[in-house]
Structure 1
Amino acid sequence: MFVRAYLRASTKEQDATRAKAQLEVFAAERGLKIAAFYIENESGASLHRPALFELIADASAGDILLVEQVDRLSRLNEFDWAKLKQSLNEKHIKIVALDLPTSWMMTGTDETTARMFDAINNMMLDMLAAIARKDYVSRRQRAAQGVEKAKAAGKYRGRSEDTERNALIQKHLKAGLSSWSEIMALVGCSRGTVAKQAALLKTLSA
């Protein structure tokens, strides 16, 4: 059994490794050693998470996926959460989250107790994933309401365009020598930003 830690932040500006020391302490207190860290800056509301699926691909049956909070693993809608759980279940990966005490028993217990806690844990995971999704949707709704209010008051200016970054993205797209993932890593942007610039280039060349 290997412990594989997953660390995620939503944007490039956020520190995805913020909880690394906390996970190391948690593992050490239970006599466990983290075999590998999988780190990325991607939205928890999207299934496009290369590091997470690299973890799943690397894992063997019985390995532990260790996260700080369930919302680091998922802010997904119900359909995508079911798809992610299926991928995890097919590899028999155990999810252990610091904010889910029922999952802590998965780090070391007998088979009968493990099966009992597995059933409880799955129910709690579903509940926390649903709460994380609701929080995500609510925050986006509040942000949209704030924008509409600012627009109505004539105070909304929108986000300024990063022309230098966008020019660099377009340069790499035109060259055709780099994949979108490589451009994202090089420039430090999201897949959506690359897609937007690709669409813009297509429009300009039409």
Structure 2
Amino acid sequence: MYIFGYLRASTNEQDAQRAKSSLKSFVEEKGRRVASWYWENVSGASLKRPELMRLLDDAAPGDAILIEQVDRLSRLNDEDWITLKALIQEKNLKIISLDLPTSHTALSAHINDEFTNAMLRAINNMMLDMLAAIARKDYQDRRRRQKEGIEKAKNEGKFRGRQADLNKHEQIYKLRVINGLSIADTAKLADVSYRTVIRVAQSYKANEPE
């Protein structure tokens, strides 16, 4: 069984490799090693993740995907989560997550008892579904709070000028903060300067409720 580490962060400002050392230490304590690492800066609410797809393509049946938390793998809606699980199950890949202790048995000595194996698979699948649902709800709650922050900023007159400017600000916010595009890509798509992207994104974040 080869172990593939998967690291993800939502935006380019966040360090996708932040958890690499803790994951590496965890595996080494179990007498194993990570065969390869895959990392990317992209939203967990999207299935458009080139590195995750490359990992799934590289992995062989019976291999394992190592993650820090289930939300690194998924903040997907139900339909996309079912799609991703199907891709994982197609190769009978194991998911090992630091926040899911029952998944750690995949690193232990092989369990020959068929019933025990079946029970562990059922428990892990159930827990994965639960944690994925929690991660999705957290994502939706954050989006709701961000929307409320935008409305609050508008109501308090934090953004002045023409309506066209407000629409442009919201476009920048969605591209940069919500979808996690780079400053360069956001500036290009919104047809504004890098400085404007940075200023608007920081302004929205400053008004985001805790």
TM-score of the pair, normalised by structure 1? 0.77
The answer to whether the Cα contact below 8 Å between 1:70 and 1:128 also exists between their aligned partners in 2 is yes
- Describe the SS at the equivalent of 1:54: helix
Deviation string, structure 1 residues 100-134 (Cα, Å, up to 9, x no partner):
01111122331433332111000000000000000
Change (3 A) 1:118 1:190: farther
Q: Which has the higher contact order (CA 8 A, sep 6+)?
A: 2
Shift, 1:146, TM fit: 1.1
Q: Is 1:140 the equivalent of 2:143?
A: yes
What's 2:34 paired with?
Answer: 34
- Aligned identity (percent) is 53
CA distance in 1, matches of 2:86, 2:37: 22
CA distance in 2, matches of 1:118, 1:22: 25
- Describe the SS at the equivalent of 1:131: helix
The answer to whether the Cα contact below 8 Å between 1:74 and 1:81 also exists between their aligned partners in 2 is yes
The answer to whether the Cα contact below 8 Å between 1:5 and 1:67 also exists between their aligned partners in 2 is yes
What's 2:107 paired with?
Answer: 107
What's 2:152 paired with?
Answer: 149
Shift, 1:16, TM fit: 0.2
- Describe the SS at the equivalent of 2:35: strand
CA distance in 2, matches of 1:133, 1:192: 26
Gap runs ≥5 in structure 1: 163-187, 199-206
Change (3 A) 1:3 1:126: same
Gap runs ≥5 in structure 2: 161-165, 173-180, 192-210
Matches within 5 A, 1:147-186: 147-156=150-159
Q: Is 1:50 the equivalent of 2:50?
A: yes
- For the aligned residue pairs, the C-alpha RMSD in angstroms reads 2.5
Q: Is 1:125 the equivalent of 2:128?
A: yes
What's 2:10 paired with?
Answer: 10
Change (3 A) 1:142 1:4: same
The answer to whether the Cα contact below 8 Å between 1:3 and 1:63 also exists between their aligned partners in 2 is yes
- Describe the SS at the equivalent of 1:34: coil
Change (3 A) 1:22 1:148: same
CA distance in 2, matches of 1:53, 1:46: 12
